[in-house]
Amino acid sequence: MNSFWEYPLIETAARYSVVILCLVVFMAVFEIVTRYNNWKEIKEGNLAVAMATGGKIFGIANIFRYSIEHNDSLLQTMGWGVYGFLLLLIGYFIYEFLTPHFKIDVEIEKDNRAVGFISLVISVGLSFVIGANII
């Protein structure tokens, strides 16, 4: 059975499937912790939500990119991906904490594009920092 996983096409499909599944689960978690409905707001044209959501998706995918690059097993890849996601989630709460004059979620829901853009940059930036530390 080990030789089955040695085929690059099979390994790629397996990692891809795991990342897609994790992305769906992680985005559901973000949906729970934000006060707005991501996909409803995006459908209505809320660019701030789209930027913040896009940053989260990119951030998660980027963490998995580093994880895949530095780990041989699928289990290690998943472990680092989950750990990286938790760090991104903590970063989200720190961002909220460091802006006591306004609520991030409220501003993003009101289509404040400046706040949405900063949220995007924070997610992407943190994903590079997290990814650089994956071994």
* Total-model pTM: 0.89
- Give 5-28 as a 3 state SS string: HCCHHHHHHHHHHHHHHHHHHHHH
The boundaries of the domain holding residue 50 are 2-132
Helix 8-33, helix 74-97: angle, nearest 10:
20
pLDDT tens string 30-41: 999 998 999 999
pLDDT at 128 over 80: yes
